[in-house]
Structure 1
Amino acid sequence: MNIDQLFSLQGRSALITGGSRGIGRMMAEGFLRAGARVYISARKADACDATARELLAIGPCVSLPADVSTLEGVQQLVAAYQQHEKSLDILVNNAGAAWGAAYDEFPESGWDKVVDLNMKTPFFLTQALTPLLKAAATDHLAKVINIASIDGVSNNPQETYSYQASKAGLIHLTRRMALKLAPERIAVSAIAPGAFASTMNKDARDHADEVAQRIPAGRIGTPEDMAGAAIYLASRAGDYVTGATLVVDGGVTWARG
């Protein structure tokens, strides 16, 4: 058993949506340090380009801006990726959105935006990239990692109805996709992050000490925590993890009960 090879991504290609900031960027840096060629996508081209330039100091990183909230945007991203690679070893479905509003006032627009991006997009992007994932699955498994949330595992008291529903749906979708794609040598799994500093989780970003008081581990998540979980699932070490969701939250889910 070679431990270095067990967790290595040397020579593999990875595409991360929502890769310009937050959790997506954490995973991108981790994959680069593990030896992968990384392609990041985000809706805002300037931010995506800027992050790719910064990550180039670590390893090969390419910016592929796209709005994957629509099927047209999904196809554009797939076409852009195919300009660089003929196969795909690792797909991380990380692009997401949230919406908070009182129950009596929750708008349809807030429902559709969140559910489309958080649950519909991972399915159709994976579907479109399945031929490239199959092409990579020769002497190793190809991997799909869906980024869910602990809010899809247990209830958050905030009124983020479409977010919690979409992340719960993504967790179950991960199981269904895993059963379908396992015979094709494509392992599908998910990560349910807790509090990590990001634009989406401004409380963890701006009030880390306060948030940490509600976490059994006594702190918010670090880039190493997220990168480590993603590298585990993406590498040979995670080959036997199929359909499961890895909760990375410092114990918050179990404290909720």
Structure 2
Amino acid sequence: MDFGYEGKAVVITGSSKGIGRQTAEEMLKLGAKVMLVARGEEALVKAQKELSAYGKVEYIVQDVTEAGAGETIINAVIDKFGRLDVLVNNAGGAFAESFEDIEVSDWEGDLNLKLMSAVKMSKAALPHLKENGGAILNLTAIAGKAPGASTLPTAVSRSAGLSMTKAMSKDLGKYNIRVNAVCIGLIRSDQIEKMWQRQAPELSWEEFATTGHDNTPLGRIGETTEAANVITFLCSDLASYITGVAVNIDGGASPAL
């Protein structure tokens, strides 16, 4: 089965670890060239060394919230690979509190990281994606569709990302640029593993991942590869008639469609 990645260039923000890194690995295995982006050089060097076994991978140390970061990153992709076909906006973090506990500065920081960084990256990428068509994939969270108590400001940032995804898909379809999103639920990550070590270090990962998840129909925490596989598909030629959708990767936990 041909995913159409051979020779294509991909940039993934927040890709030194977790879902971003795993997505890079899956796309490299299918023939893509990948630019990793993150703030920490040590983690990027480690990821590049490990991933180079699968294909051509470069990295750039960059905080996506800084002024001009989008142009700097995209220019590096063009300089290294000569083209751009796929942008995965994965930069983000977990920040969820009750409304009364959040300062205005926290709102601004969260929106800048999770929404505006994707806006800036997409704007910088657009001229190059228009050349051959391509794909933009925005990572959000299931709270963006169904906000719960004490999920602010992240639920609002993620909801805005979903609206942006749908509107962009309608504007950019004429250039054969597809724009989709994934809504992440409980997926294995550094944060989840720290929670495991803090809450139940006596349990194996398999035991922890399958304990106390009654609100998730599949009854467990998802693996990083399970998220990366969906992202890889949505950005591939196999999904050539899919745009403007937001796919839940949550084991069925979200009450929203």
TM-score, length basis structure 2: 0.89
Distance 2:41 2:68 in 1: 17
2:158 counterpart residue number: 167
Q: Among 125, 128, 132, which residue is 1:132 paired with?
A: 128
Q: Which residue of structure 1 aligns with residue 65 of structure 2?
A: 69
String of CA shifts for 1:169-195, please: whole Å, max 9, x gaps: 100100011111110111111111111
**Identity over aligned pairs, percent:** 28
Shift in Å, 1:52: 1.2
Is the Cα–Cα contact under 8 Å of residues 98 and 152 in structure 2 kept in the other structure?
no
> Does structure 1 retain, via aligned residues, the 8 Å contact 2:20–2:228?
no
Q: What is the distance in 2 between the residues matched to 1:75 and 1:196?
A: 31
Partner residue in 2 for 1:184: 175
Number of positions where the alignment pairs a residue of Structure 1 with one of Structure 2: 247
The offset of 1:228, in angstroms, is 1.7
Alpha-carbon deviation of 1:48?
Answer: 1.4
Deviations 1:192-243 (A, max 9, x none): 1111111344577654233544311122112331122012111111111111
Amino acid at match of 1:180: D
Q: For residues 117 and 6 of structure 2, what CA distance do their matches in structure 1 show?
A: 28
Unaligned residue ranges in structure 2 (runs of 5+): 198-207
Q: Distance in 2 between matches of 1:205 and 1:193?
A: 18
**Aligned 1:69-218 pairs, distance under 5 A:** 69-137=65-133, 142-157=134-149, 159-202=150-193, 206=197, 207-210=208-211, 212-218=213-219
Q: d(CA) in 2 for partners of 1:44 and 1:170?
A: 25
Aligned-partner SS, 1:210: coil
**1:98/1:162 contact within 8 Å kept:** no
On the 8 A contact 2:40/2:61 being kept in 1, the answer is yes
> What secondary structure, in the 3-state scheme, does the structure 2 residue paired with 1:82 have?
helix
Residue 48 of structure 1 is matched in structure 2 by 44
Q: TM-score, normalised by structure 1?
A: 0.89
Write the letter of the residue equivalent to 1:112.
Answer: E
Query: Per the alignment, do residues 88 and 58 of structure 1 end up closer, same or farther by CA in structure 2, a change over 3 Å counting?
Result: same
Task: Give the Å deviation of 1:117.
Answer: 1.1
In 2, Cα distance between equivalents of 1:227 and 1:211: 24
In structure 2, how many angstroms separate the alpha carbons of the residues matched to 1:177 and 1:117? 19
Contact kept, 8 Å, 2:97 with 2:153, in 1: the verdict is no
> Once the 2 structures are TM-superposed, how far is the Cα of residue 103 of structure 1 from its aligned partner?
2.6
Q: 2:87 touches 2:136 (CA, 8 Å); kept in 1?
A: yes
Do the aligned residues in 2 keep the contact of 1:39 with 1:61 (CA within 8 Å)? yes
* Separation of aligned partners in 2, 1:108 and 1:75: 28
C-alpha distance in 2 between matches for 1:44 and 1:108: 27
**Equivalent in the alignment of 2:234:** 233
Change beyond 3 A, Cα 1:96–1:113? same
Equivalent-residue separation in structure 2 for 1:161 and 1:239 (angstroms):
34
RMSD of aligned Cα (Å): 1.9
Question: Which ranges in structure 1 are unaligned for 5 or more consecutive residues?
Answer: none
Question: Contact between 2:181 and 2:246, CA under 8 Å: does it hold in 1?
Answer: yes
